[in-house]
Amino acid sequence: MLSIDALHVTYGGAVQALRGVSMDIPDGKVVAVLGSNGAGKSTLLRAISGTLRLQRGRIESGSIRLGDTDLGSRDPAQTVRLGVVQVPEGRRIFGRLSVEENLRAGGMGNKDKSAKAAAQARVYDMFPVLRERKDQRGGLLSGGEQQMLAIGRALMASPKLLLLDEPSLGLAPRIIGQIGEVIAEINRQGTSVLLVEQNATMALGVADLAYVLDVGEVSLSGDAAELARTDEVQRLYLGHDTDEPHEQAAASGKTLSRWTP
């Protein structure tokens, strides 16, 4: 479905955020991208969605293709119309708009009225709490509800590929579990998912495939369940101690301990 080939991205012409990243998101799968802060996860999603320009970033080389269409030169609105929709990091719901207006804003790229109505019904079925609060301002929802609204808003565009940027950020463990189930459900209903996460337990739990990004490069990739068993992922992302992790931490200068639910 989406294939990324040797992608190089810089900010302000100097900072190299991605250095030759290649990955494939096959049709109908959930693909997780793990990595710590600054690994280039959000940059990857910005490059796909076409919002790099807003952050003074640009694609230096490489390509992002959706089927036969090149996404590298598209603006965000066009990307949404091609069926690739992002749920941004930190939820970024429109706090002064009502829940229903937030969903309407999400459906702007969807010209077809009946498709929009169907999308809205699906969102309300998936998140009944949003229907109950449809007239409330988005800013008054709890963190978990806001994340559901952010996901629901993206679903209003009837995406073929949903991009999620750290949906677990700042949420309670129980809510993170729910988000994981929601992602699995969205995928069951036929949408491919690219899930960027620091919470490896949740991400590897729902993903079919996974990539690990490390300072702008893919350091590991493969089947999600297999990857979860590897030492490096266990140590770096799942917080299970292997041999003397703390000494290694000091030696490599990396943070080895991770919060896990």
- Please give the backbone phi and psi of residue 190, each rounded to the nearest 5 degrees, phi first: 105, 10
* CB-count exposure of residue 84 (10 Å: 0-12, 13-18, 19+): buried
* Residue 67 CB-half CA count within 13 A: 8
Q: Using N-to-C axis directions, what is the helix angle for 143-155 and 173-188, rounded to 10°?
A: 10
Task: Decide if residue 14 touches another protein (CB under 8 A).
Answer: no
How far apart are CB 115 and another protein at their closest, in Å? Answer: 13
SS3 content of the chain, % helix, strand, coil (to 5): 40, 25, 35
Task: Decide if residue 97 touches another protein (CB under 8 A).
Answer: yes
Site mask for another protein (CB under 8 A), range 18-57, x = bound: -------------------------------x-x--x---
Residue 71 or 204 having the CB closest to another protein:
71
Site mask for another protein (CB under 8 A), range 102-141, x = bound: x-xxx-xxx-------------------------------
Task: Decide if residue 76 touches another protein (CB under 8 A).
Answer: yes
d(CA 102, CA 213): 32
* CB-count exposure of residue 203 (10 Å: 0-12, 13-18, 19+): buried
Site mask for another protein (CB under 8 A), range 146-165, x = bound: -------xx--x--------
Task: Decide if residue 88 touches another protein (CB under 8 A).
Answer: yes
How far apart are CB 246 and another protein at their closest, in Å? Answer: 34
Distance from chain centroid for Cα 56? 21
Residues in contact with another protein by CB under 8 A are 49, 51, 54, 75-77, 80-81, 85-86, 88, 92, 94-97, 101-102, 104-106, 108-110, 153-154, 157
